[in-house]
Structure 1
Amino acid sequence: MGRPAKVRALWRWTGYLAVATVFAIACGFLSNWQVNRLHEKEHIQNLITSNWDADPLPLAEVVPTAGAFEASREYQPVTMAGEYLADEQVLVRNRPRSGQPGFEVITPLKLDSGLIFMVDRGWVPTGSAQDLPDHVPAPPEGEVSVTARLKPGEPELPGRSAGNGQIATVHLPDLASRVDGESYTAAYGLLMSEHPAPAEARPLPALQPEINEGMHLSYAIQWVLFAVLAFAFLGYAARQEYLAHNADDPKVRAKLEKREQRRRERKTDADAEDEILDSVL
């Protein structure tokens, strides 16, 4: 191989190496992304495990200001007292449960402090003949003591509309604009219990979330293997080209002959029979 040909080959293999390196870096980022997704799900599961059945605390102790909420407090049970604003109750659309369409029932609770806290009293199914519940159980009247699990508000969904008395998402600033008075705008509550009990069965309570960790760890390992295979293939291709360009070298020829001999020794009886049949046909 002349000098110009060697220079061209060097540039070509440098390009191959650069492509393999970029591919490996991309695989590394994708693997790290999968690991981060796994850690996020583990964090959520740990949060649920530690907070779901924790002892209830006063709302004012856990959420001291109406506009702030610590993410580590999600699902923490809190207690409060006040009076439901039943006339300001709204339904959250598109909330399936066990494969059945339905609504979440959000009822503002005016606390003894004067602040208003949004309580998700539970789930009701879509009606049999219309896109509305057949019936929404009324909340207790008068002073009521409530225990609920904290949840952060949901983001607004642009372009999503809802009918009168309904909302597309639990966007707390939107809910706050529908009632008179200052409202909590960073957290709301999933109802656990209320006393006195309502006159009729309340909507179905929220289910404890089940977090599926999925295949993130397997995918992370696969991306690492892809990166390793890229360099392994590059090394294999470089060796094959080296052997092809140096086939006349006695040492290289001896290696090729040994490889061919090993390949022949690995032939099975079935391979031998196939060769015989091919020679006859």
Structure 2
Amino acid sequence: MSTTAGWRFAFSRRWLGYLAFAIAFAIACAGLSAWQLARSKEAAAANALISANFYSHPAPLTSELPTLGSFKADQEWRRVTVTGTYERDREMLVRNRPFNGSPGFEVLTPLRTANGSLFLVDRGWVPTGNTTDAPDSVPSAPAGTVTVVARLKPSEPAIAGRSATGNQIGTIQLSVVQQHLGNVDLYTGAYGLLDSQKPSPATAPAPTVTDPPTQDEGLHWSYMIQWIIFALIGFFGLGYALRTEYRKLNEDDPEERARAAERARRRALKRTDADVEDDLLDATH
């Protein structure tokens, strides 16, 4: 074996191929890291929007929803104010709505607005009663004119296999609610989660939402850093393999032999008494 092999082998086609692979791997890791950073920024922006909407100053319903079908995703949780009269005889219950771990129903009461259309208000939650098919009682909505502050929520999707009869519905799918009410002029873009109302009734269903939804940005920052580390590991592995082959090819070179002896000496200094005892025990068998 030549003692002057040096680093010439590192410029061989094989090692240049390894280098190209490491660079391609690092580029892929960088792209994935950037993607995780973008997702983190999107989550942060979504959380900021939720906070802004949840604590927003109430705006007139007609300014937020100029038409019955109006609604944009960035309007969710925004507070609106509307004055009208509850149509208590058209009240509905949404089945299978757990709250704090207990089964129950959400109470939906249409509010007749000044322009004659109906805006669906989710007044809150009531528990199941002695039978699971209905609550024992439902607090009545205020009679007469009432001013409501509500948070906008989009129409829910249909849930396969979930059905209901009478004054109950399986989900808050506003197009289905509209048919249930007799194809009235109903706001079908969004409904409202009750925040407050004047006058306030003596008793009311339990509010389903009092605090903003949990705002979790996820582990995107952690994943972003991990992809960077993976890229560095790729280059570290390449360097380690390169050094190992260099030492093997140049093991007869006097300078490399001196360096190898120095490395062995340092390893020996790091050996503990336990290591020595283990070697003695092995030698006796």
Q: Structure 1, residues 65-101: CA drift from partner, whole Å, max 9, x if none?
A: 2222344433232111222233443333443322223
Q: Which amino acid aligns with 1:103?
A: F
- 2:108 is aligned to 106
Q: Flag structure 1 segments of 5+ consecutive residues without an equivalent.
A: none
Post-superposition, which runs of at least 4 consecutive aligned residues in structure 1 deviate over 6 A? none
* Aligned-CA RMSD value: 3.2
3-state DSSP class of the match of 2:180?
A: coil
Q: 1:176 aligns with which of 172, 175, 178?
A: 178
Q: 1:189 aligns with which of 188, 192, 212?
A: 192
Q: Distance in 2 between matches of 1:158 and 1:116?
A: 24
Q: Flag structure 2 segments of 5+ consecutive residues without an equivalent.
A: 2-8
Greater RCO structure (CA 8 Å; 6+ sep): 2
- The normalised TM-score by structure 2 is 0.78
Change (3 A) 1:202 1:269: same
Q: 1:218 aligns with which of 218, 222, 232?
A: 222
- 1:258 is aligned to 262
- 1:79 is aligned to 81
Q: Which amino acid aligns with 1:197?
A: S
Q: CA deviation at 1:105?
A: 2.2
Q: 2:47 aligns with which of 45, 48, 58?
A: 45
Q: Is the 8 A contact 1:24 1:228 kept in 2?
A: yes
Q: Which amino acid aligns with 2:163?
A: A
Q: Is the 8 A contact 1:127 1:133 kept in 2?
A: yes
3-state DSSP class of the match of 1:104?
A: strand
Change (3 A) 1:21 1:269: same
- 2:6 is aligned to none
Q: CA deviation at 1:242?
A: 3.4
- Where do residues 62-211 of structure 1 align in structure 2 (5 Å cutoff)? 62-127=64-129, 129-154=131-156, 156-157=157-158, 159-164=160-165, 165-179=167-181, 180-198=183-201, 200-208=203-211, 209-211=213-215
Q: Structure 1, residues 238-266: CA drift from partner, whole Å, max 9, x if none?
A: 33233334433444434333322222222
Q: Is the 8 A contact 1:145 1:194 kept in 2?
A: yes
Change (3 A) 1:95 1:245: farther
Q: How many residues align?
A: 274
3-state DSSP class of the match of 1:177?
A: helix
Q: Which moved more, 1:105-114 or 1:40-49?
A: 40-49
Q: Is the 8 A contact 1:140 1:199 kept in 2?
A: no
3-state DSSP class of the match of 1:210?
A: coil
- Where do residues 231-246 of structure 1 align in structure 2 (5 Å cutoff)? 231-246=235-250
Q: Which moved more, 1:163-172 or 1:115-124?
A: 163-172
- The normalised TM-score by structure 1 is 0.79
3-state DSSP class of the match of 2:263?
A: helix
Q: Distance in 1 between matches of 2:171 and 2:208?
A: 18
